[in-house]
Amino acid sequence: MPRRQVNPTRRGGTFRPKSRACPRLSAALVSLGTFLLIGYLCRSTGSFKDDKEVSKIEGDFGCTFDVQKLILVLKRTYGDNMRKVLHVGPDTCSVVSQLIKEPETEAWGVEPYDLEDANTGCKNLVRKGLVRVADIKFPLPYRAKSFSLVVVTDAVDYLSPKYLNKTIPDLARISTQNLVIFTGDPIHSKAEVPQQPRFGRSVKGKTRSKSWWARFFVQTSLEENEVAEMKFKQAASEISYKPRCQIFHLNSYH
């Protein structure tokens, strides 16, 4: 699994002294770095930063979406099956923190990359055991049918078919009923996901066509849930929710 490149401005990496020849300047730069770091930490302690800030998943993944709208549409689609939700994908903290505000919804998250730049709210979710970092190439540490709904966003484009063959059935295994997969859409990806700086230079998102996925689901014995797909499309159009990706609604194995 590719690792997210650390954002140098957040760690003060750009201030790291390069030369040993001028220790005084180095010391000054280090204190400046510390000062900025403390400033940054103070700004983000307490609760979550601005809800707006955390709830908007940045456009450097395959889908650009708004977490609040995503949850609203999922609720209208899956209703009672929103009791125990697992989200798998980048920035899962923002999704989980919104989901747990919903009445009668419990939520967990799997972050497939890393949480080096996590804010305090996110670290609290990790401490409570609601969010964990896990490489989804390997079986997830949950029992079969642990969740009523499993939602996967922007986490499978980077897996080769060899791993997809294991990972997607494993995601279906831990869900009692429904699995929703948000994945890159080749229509958008040519222009927008040629290379994803956040993941470092080695990673290119590989978006696959609708027919590729349809074949894949047949091979892995997963059925698409047409009723859910219809409900989701309708709910999404009602609130003008337009994620820029392909969305597949699947029934888990019974």
Ligand X SMILES: *[C@@H]1O[C@H](CO)[C@@H](O)[C@H](O)[C@H]1NC(C)=O
Least Cβ distance, residue 162 to ligand X (angstroms): 4
User: Of 122 and 250, which has the nearer Cβ to ligand X?
Assistant: 250
Shortest spacing between CB 244 and ligand X, in angstroms: 27
* Furthest CA-CA distance within the chain: 68
The distance of closest approach from Cβ of residue 165 to ligand X in the complex, given in angstroms and rounded to an integer, is: 4
Q: Is there a contact between 250 and 225 (Cβ–Cβ < 8 Å)?
A: yes
Residues whose CB is less than 8 angstroms from the CB of residue 29 and which lie 6 or more positions away in sequence, other chains included: 15, 16, 17
Per the CB < 8 A criterion, the answer to whether 15 and 30 are in contact is: yes
Give the whole-angstrom CA distance, residue 13 versus residue 215. Answer: 45
Judge contact between 252 and 179, C-beta under 8 A: yes
Least Cβ distance, residue 185 to ligand X (angstroms): 22
Cβ closer to ligand X: 165 or 177?
Answer: 165
- Pick 120 or 165: Cβ nearer ligand X: 165
Residues that bind ligand X (CB under 6 A): 161-162, 165, 219
Tokens 């689901």 found at: 217
Residue nearer to ligand X on the CB measure, 162 or 254: 162
Nearer to ligand X, 101 or 215 (CB): 215
The residue nearest ligand X at its CB is 165
Q: Which residues contact 11 (CB under 8 A, 6 or more apart)?
A: 37, 117
Q: Which is nearer to ligand X, 149 or 222 (CB)?
A: 222
Cβ proximity of 106 and 100 under 8 Å: yes
Report in angstroms how near the CB of residue 191 gets to ligand X at its nearest.
Answer: 28
* Alpha carbons 129 and 68: distance in angstroms, whole number: 22
What radius of gyration do the chain's Cα atoms show?
20
> Rounded to the nearest whole angstrom, what is the least distance from the CB of residue 214 to ligand X in the complex?
14
Dig out the tokens for 104 from the structure: 């009668």
Gap between the Cα atoms of 106 and 156, Å rounded: 24
Q: Which is nearer to ligand X, 143 or 162 (by Cβ)?
A: 162
Q: Smallest distance from the beta carbon of 15 to ligand X, in angstroms?
A: 45
Distance in angstroms (rounded) separating the CA atoms of residues 21 and 38: 27
Cβ–Cβ < 8 Å for 189, 158: no
